[in-house]
Amino acid sequence: MVTITELYLMMGRDLLEVESVAPGNVAGIGGLGDSVIKSGTLSSSLACTSFRELQSVAFPIVHVALEAVHFSDLPSLDKGLKLLDQSDPCVRCTYQETGERILSTAGEVHLQRCLDDLRNVYAGVELKVSPPIVPFRETVIARPTVDMVNEIISSENELIGQCTESHASKNNGPVTCSTPGNNPHLIKILATPLPETVVDVLDRSSHLLKILTSMGGASYHGNEEGVVGGLQTLYEDLKNKLETADKKKWDGAIDQIWSFGPRNSGTNILLNRISTYERPSIWKGVAKQEKGVVDQKATDPVLRNYDNSIISGFQLASLSGPLCEEPLRGVCFEVLEWTEPASEDETEQDTLRGPVSGQLISVVKECCRQAMLAQPTRLVAPMYSCIIQAATSVLGFVYAVIGRRGGRVISEEMVEGADLFVIQALIPVAESFGFCDEFRKQTIGQANPQLVFSHWEVLPSDPFWVPSTEMELEHYGEKADTESQARIYMNSVRKRKGLAVDEKIVEHAEKQRTLKRNK
């Protein structure tokens, strides 16, 4: 129950308090601060259908960690973050497991505006702000056919990555791991890339995936027509996209889905490819008239007891990848084999079930990471769509700034009847800080950029690449004069998280010594 205390009409920049508002007007309502977070539906009847949540074009992609300078100001900071989250649909305020307060905004300019509002309006306290944090994702790709100098990779000329996990593999097959002990569980997992069309469907349907996982195979008792209809559409979309991409490879995969990750709603999939283990379908409770979804029962009760351990290990692996502990994107883990230990009496099984379930979680997580490292790994970076209006006289400066920032021009059109060009480009979010200021300085204010989050893009360079073939050694040298952009991003994230970085602090120690002898 919500009590409305004030009604306002918007008169330009001012608000006019009124007793009632006629239909068709945009009005302000007072007294909802503790009841409505970002958006909601107010009605005097419970039979009223709820409105959809407010959708914003901008996506919060730039994060900072906040702290109050004085410890006593923390309650004011928490209250200010709550008010800021309510007032701006493009802002997301979250609390991490470590206790950090994270402010997510749409970009650099939006971040500065939000920090100013926190300091001066909502919280009124002094803040300590971390450097901007740009999220990345990790993925795998199909094994490339050419190397960095466009030379065909053959058995005699193989490109082998050197990774920080001390793991390198020419074989892109499955990886087998086992639990410790005399009677181990054996797990064989293969990591493969998901088709981009499937990743897009999963990305758009995260809310439906959460509902599907919470159902746990039971029938949904909420809005049957809306939610179950959406899940049926999702099932058919995934099935069609998988079969269109490669019918032979993904045949029957939709009914073998074990779990989605991370957090049961991501763009990664765990598949049950075990021939001797059948489990209930994740799509069981979607609808009564399902096609192709079989209500299967687990044939092995011992394996069924540890089913959730496999899922938990996959969730942990998809939440932090092997490159720089960032979430995975577009990776499918196929569990090919799962061998149980020799049969034991029921009492001993109950005693060991706790330790074994924990061991299985750790082993599945490590097996997924090693299976991913057995494939060509790549970083996935967020990209801004940059729309620029520039005069003809500064086009050269525009292209120069975009090139220095690692961007690329998508299209260029001339405005009819004016001395202007409209340029559309893509800029990595990690390279966008200070972009607008540099742009205006170089073009003397004759070009205006506008940045909007566009999509996630796989970086083409291998973060573990070093010159290895004859042509690469001849072209780049033995140590390669410049690091790949993907490796620079990976090392920067690893340093921020306190992970080990494979870098030499001192490369030429003899140049830092005075070798001259004093007579």
Residue 389, domain member (yes or no) = yes
Q: Please tell me whether residues 384 and 330 are part of one structural domain.
A: no
pLDDT of residue 461: 87
- Tally the domains of the chain: 2
- Identify whether 262 is preceded by a cis peptide bond (ω within 30 of 0): yes
Dihedral of the CA atoms 140, 146, 149, 155 (nearest 10)? 110
Residue 69, domain member (yes or no) = no
pLDDT of residue 137: 96
pLDDT tier, 260 (very low <50, low <70, confident <90, very high otherwise): very high
The single-letter code of the amino acid at 277 is Y
pLDDT tier, 132 (very low <50, low <70, confident <90, very high otherwise): very high
Q: Please tell me whether residues 196 and 255 are part of one structural domain.
A: yes
Region of residue 11 (phi > 0: left; psi between -120 and 50: alpha; otherwise: beta): beta
d(CA 375, CA 366): 15
Q: Does 288 have pLDDT greater than 50? A: no
Q: Which residues contact 396 (CB under 8 A, 6 or more apart)?
A: none
d(CA 246, CA 242): 6
d(CA 113, CA 38): 19
Q: Please tell me whether residues 459 and 403 are part of one structural domain.
A: yes
Domain extent for 254: 175-343+352-375
pLDDT of residue 294: 45
Closest CA to 493 of 371, 322, 268, 262: 322
Q: Please tell me whether residues 195 and 240 are part of one structural domain.
A: yes
Q: Which residues contact 301 (CB under 8 A, 6 or more apart)?
A: none
Residue 206, domain member (yes or no) = yes
Closest CA to 232 of 281, 271, 290, 292: 290
pLDDT tier, 417 (very low <50, low <70, confident <90, very high otherwise): confident
Q: Please tell me whether residues 273 and 337 are part of one structural domain.
A: yes
75: β partners: none
Q: Please tell me whether residues 450 and 365 are part of one structural domain.
A: no
Mean pLDDT of the 491-506 span? 84
Residue 482, domain member (yes or no) = yes
Which is it for strands 6-11 and 14-18: parallel, antiparallel or unpaired?
A: antiparallel
Residue 165, domain member (yes or no) = no
pLDDT of residue 362: 93
Lowest mean pLDDT among 48-62, 201-215, 400-414: 48-62
Residue 236, domain member (yes or no) = yes
Which is it for strands 268-272 and 331-339: parallel, antiparallel or unpaired?
A: parallel
Mean pLDDT of the 46-54 span? 74
139: β partners: 378
pLDDT of residue 32: 77
Cα-based distances in Å from 180 to 65, 133, 304, 347: 40, 38, 20, 20
CATH number for the domain harbouring residue 190: 3.30.230.10
Lowest mean pLDDT among 84-93, 252-261, 337-346, 357-366: 337-346
Closest CA to 237 of 476, 229, 151, 17: 229
301-346 pLDDT, tens per residue?
777 788 899 999 999 999 999 999 999 999 999 999 988 776 555 5
271 touches 257 (CB < 8 A): yes
For residue 254, give the DSSP letter.
Answer: G
The single-letter code of the amino acid at 317 is A
Q: Please tell me whether residues 230 and 283 are part of one structural domain.
A: yes
Q: Which residues contact 505 (CB under 8 A, 6 or more apart)?
A: none
Mean pLDDT of the 411-419 span? 88
Q: Please tell me whether residues 365 and 389 are part of one structural domain.
A: no
For the CA atoms of the chain, what is the radius of gyration?
Answer: 28
Mean pLDDT of the 428-452 span? 89
Lowest mean pLDDT among 17-26, 297-306, 459-468, 506-515: 506-515
Q: Please tell me whether residues 365 and 439 are part of one structural domain.
A: no
Q: Please tell me whether residues 276 and 316 are part of one structural domain.
A: yes
Mean pLDDT of the 117-130 span? 92
Q: Does 118 have pLDDT greater than 50? A: yes
Q: Please tell me whether residues 367 and 412 are part of one structural domain.
A: no
Instruction: Indicate the average pLDDT of the chain.
Output: 82
CATH number for the domain harbouring residue 437: 3.30.70.240
Mean pLDDT of the 425-433 span? 93
Residue 105, domain member (yes or no) = no
**167/276: higher pLDDT:** 276
Q: Please tell me whether residues 210 and 311 are part of one structural domain.
A: yes
Residue 42, domain member (yes or no) = no
Count how many Cα atoms sit within 13 Å of the Cα of residue 298 in the half-sphere of its side chain.
12
Stretch (H or E) spanning 376: none
pTM for the structure as a whole: 0.81
